[in-house]
Amino acid sequence: MGKKFETEILHGRKKSNSKITSKVTPIYQTSAFSFKDLDELEGFYHGNGQYLYSRVGNPNTDELGEAVARLEGAPAGIASSSGLSAILAGVLAVVKNGDHIIAADDLYGGSFHMLKEELNQFGIETSFVSFDNLAEVEKAIKDNTKLLYTESITNPLLRVEDIKGVVELAHKHQLNTLVDNTFATPYHCQPYSMGIDLVVHSATKYIGGHSDVTIGVLTGREDLVASARAKVVNLGTNVSPFEAWLTCRGLKTLALRMKAQSSNAKKLAEALLHNTFVEKVYYPFEQEKDGYGAMVTIELSKSVDINDFFRSLAWIKIAPTLAGVETTVSHPLTTSHRSLPPEACEALGITKEVVRISVGIEHADDIIVQFEQAIEKSL
């Protein structure tokens, strides 16, 4: 990036070749693009044309992939239909039948299920290992291991990954790396700039920011993104132009939103540390003075009735997702990590008392009061 983050978001996009100088990229809400003759059509297949069919490519989807790639410091990016489809495209850009993946054991439940159950049916094996100890990760490497996969900040217990350590281990054994950077966002962390090969976002979350799209973005090494692009096209996991346009619009305020939400999250985490009926607060306090991400996870005391707690939250909504501008809560055991075996949840510490909080842009004092009142009412 040649500019500061806040400036790059707004002024980093490529200049259009169009003679119509629209301030904002128009929505190319079309399923296909037309050609003047067969020679022009044939030219597309020889690299002389940019767009053919919106499943193959569209100016809006391309703009989003390129925009997030710039913020990650990566040379290439592609948008797809969801965070999970972007993860799938990234994984399949690296591995095939007979290959082995090593993944962090504290991943988002949807990622865990895809790796353990779905890809296993196609002959791709995954070992889930604690990345807290990279020596154990190294022990799990096999002759057919091709990929190390983790999250920059894990979901839901907010462990901050040792990305430099993961990169060093991968280079030592000539492995590729994939990091889900959804929780941190490029505002707080740019894994590609630290040596990670592929970086994925559920852009449904902070990239879009307003809970009105379902979309994913994969960025990283040019050759791997090209391979992933082929998977998106040929497996039909493309995203619509309108959703890509909405996400580009949301992306413009990412820095403003993350600054406010991260600050609020740190204040909430600090307040709940002193609540007698909160057993644990998960928040990466040590990472940055102004907060490091807008997620806070807490483990309530057993003297708190969990159902009453959720019922007592008034204007704070219960939602199975995160990262909108409004504060919401979720229950990982019964939503995001429902697909994990009970013993895996227990080992990680994801119990029925664990609550994941996505902190919004409301006034911090109001957020804090709401949680303290809900705890008090549910004793």
Q: What is the pLDDT of residue 281?
A: 98
Q: How far is Cα 251 from Cα 192, in angstroms, rounded to an integer?
A: 19
Q: Where are the domains of the chain?
A: 5-251, 254-377
Looking at 1.20.1050.10, 3.40.640.10, 3.30.1450.10, 3.30.360.10, the CATH number of the domain 5-251 comes to 3.40.640.10
Say if residue 121's pLDDT is above 80: yes
Say if residue 8's pLDDT is above 70: yes
Q: What is the pLDDT of residue 90?
A: 98
Among 249, 185, 181, 186, which residue's Cα sits nearest to residue 212? 249
- Identical fold for domains 5-251 and 254-377, yes or no, is no
**For residues 286 and 199, which has the higher predicted lDDT (pLDDT)?**
199
φ/ψ bin of 19: left (φ > 0), alpha (ψ from -120 to 50), beta (otherwise): alpha
Chain centroid, CA 19 distance in Å:
36
User: Is residue 151 classed as helix, strand or coil in its secondary structure?
Assistant: strand
φ/ψ bin of 348: left (φ > 0), alpha (ψ from -120 to 50), beta (otherwise): alpha
Q: How far is Cα 50 from Cα 198, in angstroms, rounded to an integer?
A: 24
Q: Are 293 and 299 in contact (CB under 8 A)?
A: no
Q: How far is Cα 150 from Cα 177, in angstroms, rounded to an integer?
A: 8
Instruction: For helices 83-92 and 222-235, give the axis angle rounded to 10 degrees.
Output: 120
Q: How far is Cα 100 from Cα 83, in angstroms, rounded to an integer?
A: 22
Report the top-level CATH class of 254-377: alpha beta
> Which region among 36-50, 113-127, 171-185, 253-267 has the lowest average model confidence (pLDDT)?
36-50
47-72 mean pLDDT = 94
Q: Is the pTM of this model over 0.85?
A: yes
Q: Which tens digit of pLDDT belongs to each residue from 148-203?
A: 999 999 999 999 999 999 999 999 999 999 999 999 999 999 999 999 999 999 99
Q: What is the pLDDT of residue 14?
A: 67
